[in-house]
């Protein structure tokens, strides 16, 4: 049992290599984990290239800082472990001049300004601009309506105009998105339950609205995430670059079925999309 | 003789040098001493013990969450119960464990001892603040037993989910109790914060200038200012949400909400308003609880590395800058909420700028070992661990603060891993470091070192494993608050880590039992501690262990130098206590 620690000084000299080992192991394992386990799902959108580039940029920069920090911590733990003789002279005075302290405050400030602000403004901004800038004029426009716990996908039909919809017209079986029959533009509209088809290589502009609570439109492969806010018409845009089927998930807690709010996005050629659309029943 | 003024002010400075604390001032009845005490040390311990009880609940909830995630096929909870577990785990841990133990518990216990005061500025308010949070805890726990179950809208309680009983079962009485409990917590925390600010500004011992205060006190001061500024908007939000729920108002509810085929009568509000109000508190709250942990790390390191902290003044300035910046970056929780992208970019630029002063603190923590004579005591283990956790979790913040990458990471397990490292592991390890360090002042005994070090290994290793693995899950695209991840193919990769994480989590929770055993065993049976067992130089070591009622004996303490005179330059002594002539 440990006695009075000050009389037992220097407490636990054997701890230095133990803790040094712990910090080295932490550094190595965390970095190795990022390297081997930190893979993102295969990319399938155009703007995603810049998002992935920003993530890679952060991997490299924060990785260096992480390893450097742990390296110095390990060295100091080993080097400055208390010795039996007090104040070993070769270590010099622990009192740093305020000049030295300010210099070492300036280093992280400059480094973080370059790394962090550079990441936001230089590396990250282009992707953000693509995601939130003006949509290409020839974009394929679809509306997604979120409700507990289902994605309703609404196409404007051949006239290219979305029909009016209203909350009081919502009928779960016959008219789940509340389209107004009296609106001529609504007649040819198409809606599906959780099935979205998008043309490959063409910008997709997704209008987002929610009927009940918050939801969030998420497709990891597209590097897209955008909340659906009741009472608010939102949007997101991206260009699918790979054909295939993708899962549409909800990222904003929306109730007990949040975990099973699943939709499907099929990315295929424009002809196939047109063909599929022509096979769908119009709303009225 | 020290008089309690009408407000209950009891200060060394004002009482003058001839002050005497007479024995009969200490209450003698059991109720007066241990229950309705106005002694800051008793209140600090009351908070600490309350937080321990709440931690048992929060930890049990964590185990149930991890069980469900590792073995969804052998489920024992329904989806709505799972959401209640997640919601209550988050709320209890952030507000009723970490805030109570670290900020309310150690803040109360340490501030007067550190600044040489005989008690807090308002002892009665202090007692009131504790007895306000107790019913808060009880209401929060009662929510488990009401119809519909506990609140299930997440600890963020975003409406409409939290506003409408149609939206989720927990949004019935459970959510009302949650809101009332939060209101009581905030009331208590605000009383505590005002008390801290007043005490630190007005009750310091003679000679205790602001720049002679230990960094822990600085951090508590900044934390209290942040809390007092940031909590009122959440109080307002909670009241408005109660209005939406029970009085038919529509602060957060727009027109045209449909549940089933019923259109609700609400009209004109927006759920986004709540998110702004919530995060206007929510982000500063992170610093309210992280800064005191960092302060404790600085003090523990100074004591056990036998040297002053590197860049004391710079750390103070950096902390003030962090506090200022933390108030203007709340929007980084809302990048994908439909916010104007230009506003998003502003929030991103401001958010990542915090990394500059924050890394100054990191450098200064590491620098505080430079040319030291490290004594590897248990509190020192935890303080060194804090450096490593900050150096891991802190950098993860860049991925989330950068708006471009947050589009991918938002609401994924990367977020869960990140905030658990920063406001879970850093704050818990700060609390533990504080317990091991100042246990002598609480009970006059030392905690067992061997059990303490075992506790360190059982805390650091499994907790790091759990939350770093969650970062990898987030990278693979796995989303949070999912009852079961097996319905989505893209979550297959992340799901594979669920079992290992659960094993590590069980180890981490089990490891805390070592602490509890050590705490209660040492309180009665630990090695008796002298006044100054760690050879500390700051003011709290200038009194008996345990510290008596009135803290400092008959003579008022005087601060004659800074709190960190280790290896003094113009003296042959190994350290110069703050109080000696």
Q: What CATH number should be reported for the domain holding residue A155? A: 2.60.40.420
Model confidence band, residue B191 (pLDDT cutoffs 50, 70, 90): very high
CB of B240 closer than 8 Å to CB of B249: yes
A232 domain residue, yes or no? yes
Q: Is the pLDDT of residue B344 over 90?
A: yes
A2 domain residue, yes or no? no
Q: Of B408, B460, B576, which to mutate for an interface test with A (greatest number of A Cβ within 10 Å)? A: B408
Q: What is the pLDDT of residue B25?
A: 64
A248 domain residue, yes or no? yes
Asked whether residue A148 falls in the same domain as residue A227, the answer is yes
CB atoms within 10 A of CB B579: 23
- Alpha-carbon gap: B435 to the closest alpha carbon of chain A (Å): 16
Q: Which helix (H) or strand (E) holds A236?
A: strand A234-238
Asked whether residue A150 falls in the same domain as residue A248, the answer is yes
Q: Is B574 exposed, middle or buried (0-12, 13-18, 19+ CB in 10 A)?
A: middle
Model confidence band, residue A6 (pLDDT cutoffs 50, 70, 90): very low
Cβ-defined contact of A82 to B375 (cutoff 8 Å): yes
- Alpha-carbon gap: A124 to the closest alpha carbon of chain B (Å): 5
Task: Find the farthest-apart pair of alpha carbons in chain A and give their distance in angstroms, rounded.
Answer: 93
Asked whether residue A179 falls in the same domain as residue A212, the answer is yes
Cβ-defined contact of A249 to B490 (cutoff 8 Å): yes
Asked whether residue A34 falls in the same domain as residue A74, the answer is yes
φ, ψ dihedrals at B183, nearest 5°: -60, -40
Alpha helices in A38-97 (DSSP H): 48-79
Cβ-defined contact of B384 to A39 (cutoff 8 Å): no
Q: What is the pLDDT of residue A128?
A: 85
Asked whether residue A109 falls in the same domain as residue A148, the answer is no
A90 domain residue, yes or no? no
Task: Give the count of Cβ contacts less than 8 A between chain A and B.
Answer: 383
Q: For the stretch B66-90, what's the b/e string if a residue is b when 16 or more beta carbons lie within 10 angstroms of its beta carbon?
A: bbbbbebeeeeeebbbbbbbbbbbb
Structural domains in chain A (count): 2
Q: What sign has the CA pseudo-torsion B372, B376, B380, B386?
A: positive
Chain position carrying tokens 């999309």: A273
Token pair, residue A24, equals 């080295």
Q: Which residue has the higher pLDDT, B16 or A19?
A: A19
Domains and CATH numbers, chain B: 38-249+269-541 (1.20.210.10)
A96 domain residue, yes or no? no
A9 domain residue, yes or no? no
Q: What is the pLDDT of residue A83?
A: 65
Asked whether residue A259 falls in the same domain as residue A154, the answer is yes
- Report yes or no: A225 at the B interface, CB cutoff 8 Å: yes
Asked whether residue A162 falls in the same domain as residue A255, the answer is yes
Please state the rounded mean pLDDT for residues B445-454: 96
CB of B460 closer than 8 Å to CB of B402: no
Cβ-defined contact of A167 to B257 (cutoff 8 Å): yes
* Non-local CB neighbours of B176 within 8 Å, separated by 6+ positions: B242, B245, B246
Please state the rounded mean pLDDT for residues B135-146: 95
Q: Is the pLDDT of residue A54 over 50?
A: yes
Give the integer Cα–Cα distance in Å for A147 and B161. 12
A78 domain residue, yes or no? yes
Give the integer Cα–Cα distance in Å for B102 and B539. 20
Q: Is the pLDDT of residue B8 over 60?
A: no
DSSP state of B31: I
Chain A residue numbers with beta carbons less than 8 Å from the beta carbon of B392 are 26, 30, 66
Q: Which contacts qualify for A132-137: CB closer than 8 Å, 24 or more apart? A: A132/B341, A132/B344, A135/A203, A135/A205, A135/A235, A135/A237, A136/A203, A136/A239
Give the integer Cα–Cα distance in Å for A65 and B356. 13
Give the integer Cα–Cα distance in Å for B158 and B272. 9
A4 domain residue, yes or no? no
Asked whether residue A193 falls in the same domain as residue A211, the answer is yes
Model confidence band, residue B575 (pLDDT cutoffs 50, 70, 90): very high
DSSP string, B197-255: HHHHHH-PPBT--GGGS-HHHHHHHHHHHHHHHHHHHHHHHHHHHHHHHHT---SS--S
Domain range for A180 is: 140-279
CB of B59 closer than 8 Å to CB of B462: no
Q: For the stretch B243-253, what's the b/e string if a residue is b when 16 or more beta carbons lie within 10 angstroms of its beta carbon?
A: ebbeeebbbbb
DSSP state of A143: E
Q: What is the pLDDT of residue B571?
A: 84
Q: What is the pLDDT of residue A11?
A: 52
Q: What is the pLDDT of residue B572?
A: 86
Model confidence band, residue A35 (pLDDT cutoffs 50, 70, 90): confident
Please state the rounded mean pLDDT for residues B189-194: 96
Cβ-defined contact of B310 to A104 (cutoff 8 Å): yes
Q: Is the pLDDT of residue A89 over 70?
A: no
Q: Which contacts qualify for B20-24: CB closer than 8 Å, 24 or more apart? A: B20/B554, B21/B118, B21/B549, B21/B550, B21/B552, B21/B553, B21/B554
Please state the rounded mean pLDDT for residues B14-39: 65
pLDDT above 90 covers what percent of chain A?
80
Q: What is the pLDDT of residue B18?
A: 39
Asked whether residue A24 falls in the same domain as residue A45, the answer is yes
Cβ-defined contact of B411 to A216 (cutoff 8 Å): yes
Out of A11, A23, A95, name the one closest to residue B376 (CB): A11
Q: What is the pLDDT of residue B6?
A: 37
Question: Which candidate, B15, B208, B173, B9, places its Cα nearest to that of B84?
Answer: B173
- Alpha-carbon gap: A227 to the closest alpha carbon of chain B (Å): 5
Q: What is the pLDDT of residues A245-279, one digit of tens each?
A: 999 999 999 999 999 999 999 999 999 999 999 99
- Alpha-carbon gap: B501 to the closest alpha carbon of chain A (Å): 14
Asked whether residue A258 falls in the same domain as residue A128, the answer is no
- Alpha-carbon gap: B525 to the closest alpha carbon of chain A (Å): 12
CB of A178 closer than 8 Å to CB of A203: no
Out of A22, A80, A230, name the one closest to residue B254 (CB): A230
- Report yes or no: A176 at the B interface, CB cutoff 8 Å: no
Asked whether residue A194 falls in the same domain as residue A123, the answer is no
Asked whether residue A33 falls in the same domain as residue A164, the answer is no
Cβ-defined contact of B477 to A131 (cutoff 8 Å): no
Q: What is the pLDDT of residues B531-568, one digit of tens each?
A: 999 999 999 999 999 999 999 988 899 999 999 999 99
- Report yes or no: A193 at the B interface, CB cutoff 8 Å: no
Token pair, residue A103, equals 């210099």
What is the reported pTM? 0.94
Question: Which candidate, B375, B370, B573, B212, places its Cα nearest to that of A97?
Answer: B370
Q: What is the pLDDT of residue B17?
A: 39
Query: SS in 3 state form for A10-33?
Result: CCCCCHHHHHHHHHHHHHHHHHHH
Q: Is B349 exposed, middle or buried (0-12, 13-18, 19+ CB in 10 A)?
A: middle
Cβ-defined contact of B407 to A102 (cutoff 8 Å): no
* Non-local CB neighbours of B276 within 8 Å, separated by 6+ positions: B330, B331, B334
CB of B488 closer than 8 Å to CB of A247: yes
Q: Establish whether the linkage from the previous residue to A10 is cis, with ω within 30° of 0.
A: yes
């Amino acid at each position: 049992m440990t006695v009075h620690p000050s009389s037992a000084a220097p407490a636990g000299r054997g701890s230095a290599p133990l803790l040094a080992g712990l910090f080295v192991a932490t550094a190595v394992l965390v970095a190795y984990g990022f390297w081997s386990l930190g893979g993102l799902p295969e990319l399938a959108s155009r703007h995603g290239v810049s998002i992935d580039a920003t993530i890679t940029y952060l991997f490299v920069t924060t990785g260096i800082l992480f390893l450097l920090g742990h390296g110095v911590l390990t060295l100091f733990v080993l080097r400055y472990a208390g010795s039996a003789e007090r104040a070993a002279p070769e270590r010099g005075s622990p009192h740093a001049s305020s000049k030295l302290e300010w210099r070492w405050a300036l280093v992280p400030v400059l480094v973080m300004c370059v790394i962090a602000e550079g990441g936001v403004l230089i590396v990250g901004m282009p992707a953000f601009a693509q995601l939130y800038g003006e949509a290409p004029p020839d974009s394929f426009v679809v509306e997604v309506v979120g409700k507990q716990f289902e994605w309703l996908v609404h196409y404007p039909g051949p006239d290219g105009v979305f029909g009016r919809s209203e909350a009081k017209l919502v009928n779960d079986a016959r008219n789940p998105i509340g389209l107004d029959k009296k609106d001529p533009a609504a007649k040819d509209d198409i809606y599906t339950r959780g099935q979205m088809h998008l043309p490959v290589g063409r910008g997709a502009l997704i209008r987002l609205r929610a009927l009940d609570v918050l939801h969030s439109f998420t497709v990891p492969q597209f590097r897209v995430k955008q909340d659906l806010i009741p009472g608010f018409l939102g949007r997101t845009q991206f260009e699918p670059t790979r054909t295939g089927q993708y899962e549409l998930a909800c990222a904003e807690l929306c109730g007990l079925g949040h975990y099973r709010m699943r939709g499907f996005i099929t990315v295929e050629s424009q002809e196939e999309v047109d063909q599929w659309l022509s096979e769908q029943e119009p709303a009225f | 003789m020290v008089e309690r003024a009408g407000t209950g002010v009891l200060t060394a400075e004002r009482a003058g040098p001839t002050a005497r604390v007479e024995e009969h001032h200490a209450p003698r009845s059991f109720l007066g001493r241990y229950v309705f005490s106005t002694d800051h040390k008793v209140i600090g311990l009351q908070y600490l013990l309350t937080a321990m009880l709440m931690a048992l609940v929060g930890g049990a909830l964590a185990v149930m969450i991890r069980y469900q995630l590792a073995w969804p096929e052998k489920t024992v909870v329904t989806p709505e119960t799972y959401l209640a577990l997640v919601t209550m785990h988050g709320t209890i841990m952030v507000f009723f464990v970490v805030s109570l133990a670290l900020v309310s518990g150690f803040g109360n216990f340490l501030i007067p001892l550190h600044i040489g005061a005989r008690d807090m500025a308002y002892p009665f308010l202090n007692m009131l603040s504790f007895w306000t949070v107790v019913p808060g805890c009880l209401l929060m726990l009662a929510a488990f037993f009401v119809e519909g179950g506990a609140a299930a809208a997440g600890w963020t309680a975003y409406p409409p989910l939290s506003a409408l009983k149609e939206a989720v079962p927990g949004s019935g009485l459970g959510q009302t109790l949650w809101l009332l409990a939060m209101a009581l917590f905030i009331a208590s925390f605000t009383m505590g914060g005002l008390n801290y600010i007043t005490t630190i500004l007005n009750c310091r011992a003679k000679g205790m200038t602001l720049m002679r205060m230990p960094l822990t006190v600085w951090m508590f001061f900044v934390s209290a200012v942040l809390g007092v500024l940031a909590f009122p908007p959440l109080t307002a939000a909670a009241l408005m949400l109660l209005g939406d729920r029970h009085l038919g108002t529509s602060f957060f509810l727009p027109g045209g909400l449909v549940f089933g085929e019923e259109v609700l009568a609400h009209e004109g509000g927006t759920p986004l308003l709540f998110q702004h109000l919530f995060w206007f508190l929510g982000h500063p709250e992170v610093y309210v609880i992280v800064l005191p942990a960092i302060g404790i790390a600085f003090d523990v390191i100074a004591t056990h590395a036998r040297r002053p902290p590197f860049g004391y003044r710079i750390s103070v300035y950096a902390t003030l800058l962090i506090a200022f910046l933390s108030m203007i970056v709340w929007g980084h929780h809302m990048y994908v909420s439909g916010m104007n992208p230009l506003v998003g970019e502003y929030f991103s630029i401001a958010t990542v700028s915090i990394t500059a002063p924050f890394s100054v603190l990191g450098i200064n923590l590491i620098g505080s070992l430079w040319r030291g004579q490290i004594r590897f005591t248990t509190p020192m283990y935890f303080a060194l661990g804090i450096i490593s956790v900050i150096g891991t979790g802190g950098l993860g913040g860049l991925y989330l603060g950068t708006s471009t990458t947050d589009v991918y990471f938002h609401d994924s397990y990367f977020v869960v891993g990140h905030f658990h490292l920063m406001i879970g592991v850093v704050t818990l390890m700060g609390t533990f470091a504080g317990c091991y360090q100042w246990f002598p002042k609480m009970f006059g005994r030392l905690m067992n070192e061997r059990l303490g070090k075992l506790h360190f290994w059982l805390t650091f290793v499994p907790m790091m494993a759990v939350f770093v693995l969650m970062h990898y899950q987030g990278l693979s695209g796995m989303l949070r608050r999912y009852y079961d991840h097996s319905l989505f193919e893209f979550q297959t990769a992340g799901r594979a880590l669920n079992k290992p994480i659960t094993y590590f989590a069980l180890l981490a929770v089990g490891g805390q039992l070592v602490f509890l055993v050590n705490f209660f065993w040492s309180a009665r049976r630990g090695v008796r501690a002298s006044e100054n067992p760690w050879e500390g130089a700051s003011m709290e070591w200038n009194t008996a262990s345990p510290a008596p009622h009135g803290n400092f004996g008959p003579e008022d303490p005087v601060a004659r130098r800074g709190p960190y005179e280790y290896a003094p330059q113009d003296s042959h002594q190994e350290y110069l206590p703050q109080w000696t002539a």
